[in-house]
Amino acid sequence: MDVQDIKNRFGIIGGSPLLNRAIDIARQVAPTDMSVLITGESGSGKEVFSHIIHQMSTRKHGAFIAVNCGAIPEGTIDSELFGHEKGSFTGAHEARKGYFEVANGGTIFLDEVAELPLGTQARLLRILESGEYLRVGSSKVQKTDVRIIAATNVDVYNRVKSGKFREDLYYRLNTVPLRIPALHERKEDIYLLFRKFSADFSDKYRSPGIQLEPDAIQILSNYSWPGNVRQLKNIAEQICVLEKERNVSAAALLNYIPNESANNLPVAINGNSKEDYTERDILYKVLFDMKKDMMELKKLVAEIIQSGGNTSHIMADNPHYINQLYQEVDQTFGNEQATLTIKKPVQNTPVDYNYTHEAEEVEESLSLIDKESDLIKKALKKHKGKRKFAAQELGISERTLYRKIKELNLN
């Protein structure tokens, strides 16, 4: 039986090379008794491939049991898989056969195998190596002849490295790795699958067929489909049931497709060194902020002086903030530009400000080196010479601070 015959038999739609390769591997491994580990994203069709392997094997007349390992509580999973004896735990009123006993001579499909507890993993490893197991609460060794097909949508090897999955079990299960491609990796198959699903649902609900306009087909093909074939099938069913217009436009299709996350957008990477960029960026930001603050303070002082000391219109807006600004001006300019005598307001009493204006216009230095030197001196003084904390205050690395101290001769 070739790949196309398998597609026809199991209802697989698509001509992607990745899909054909996965089907070919399943076809070749099926007649053997080798363990198979099927990997792929959720909704990509891993269980379909487990059926292909079982139906094309010599065990096709035996039992096929699919077990979702992530859906069984940890306290009962050993009993489910291996059975238990009467009275072995609370609620065990009679003996019970496990899946490995029931499926003797057939196949067990362990979906989400990476969710198995470590104790259960040890029991599973023993079955793979010798075909032996113990029922819960029994000391009698049982034998079984079962082929194991496992599947997972996570990176099992990462769980091995983190100690959550046994390394020896991983290699026993991964005798033949079989990867199912995600839907976004087989874009040429997306529209074919949609047509198949929409035709099936139109027959099921006895409704007219669905046709996609060209721009809608483009959107369908470019969407990332995180839920894979399962998500595509759900959307096809929603459109067949809910859409009144049977010719679906792009605008109508977007009502059924979730918005792409902005986190998936590409990020530009600057080729410059991170340390140099951070230092320059922080330095300019500090300088520009300082200049902006100084200009605002100068404007405020000029407005107060020009108004002849009448600050009622300013105080009416925000008296507490203005008081703070006056104090900052006094601390900043000192005797070089203005001497401010401030009388604190009492309740609603107007504020009386006496001005002795002996300001002399001093040209401000715009040298980056001077500003950089002043900032470093202030940071070192603030942190009492501790360079580590001064570097953190300046937003640069300690190594850069050492270099700047040396360059500016600040020792």
pLDDT of residue 402: 80
Same-domain status, 109 and 212 = no
Number of independent structural domains in the chain: 4
Same-domain status, 219 and 298 = no
CA 186, 189, 191, 195 torsion: positive or negative? negative
**Is 275 within a domain?**
no
At 304, is the pLDDT very low, low, confident or very high (cuts 50, 70, 90)?
confident
Average pLDDT over residues 50-62: 94
pLDDT of residue 296: 75
Among residues 332, 356, 380, the one where a domain terminates is 356
Same-domain status, 51 and 20 = yes
CATH of the domain at 240: 1.10.8.60
Same-domain status, 33 and 174 = yes
**Is 271 within a domain?**
no
At 120, is the pLDDT very low, low, confident or very high (cuts 50, 70, 90)?
very high
pLDDT at 201 over 60: yes
pLDDT in tens, 316-353: 555 555 555 555 555 554 444 444 444 444 444 444 44
Same-domain status, 197 and 245 = yes
Same-domain status, 149 and 52 = yes
Same-domain status, 342 and 307 = yes
**Is 276 within a domain?**
no
**Is 269 within a domain?**
no
**Is 73 within a domain?**
yes
Same-domain status, 120 and 131 = yes
Cβ 37 vs Cβ 153: under 8 Å? no
**Is 277 within a domain?**
no
pLDDT of residue 382: 85
Cβ 115 vs Cβ 69: under 8 Å? yes
pLDDT of residue 260: 59
pLDDT at 218 over 90: yes
**Is 267 within a domain?**
no
| Residues contacting residue 32 through CB under 8 Å, at least 6 positions apart | 57
Q: Which of 8-17, 185-194, 322-331 has the lowest mean pLDDT?
A: 322-331
Same-domain status, 306 and 375 = no
> Which structural domain, as residue segments, surrounds residue 212?
184-259
Same-domain status, 231 and 176 = no
CA pair distance 256, 206, nearest whole angstrom: 21
Q: Which of 99-108, 196-205, 382-391 has the lowest mean pLDDT?
A: 382-391
Same-domain status, 342 and 401 = no
At 162, is the pLDDT very low, low, confident or very high (cuts 50, 70, 90)?
very high
**Is 59 within a domain?**
yes
Among residues 148, 181, 214, the one where a domain terminates is 181
pLDDT of residue 339: 43
Q: How far is CA 256 from CA 146, 153, 223, 252, in A?
A: 43, 25, 12, 8
Average pLDDT over residues 250-265: 72
Max mean pLDDT among 43-57, 260-274, 290-304 falls in 43-57
Q: What is the mean pLDDT of the chain?
A: 81
Average pLDDT over residues 179-191: 93
pLDDT at 123 over 60: yes
Same-domain status, 27 and 123 = yes
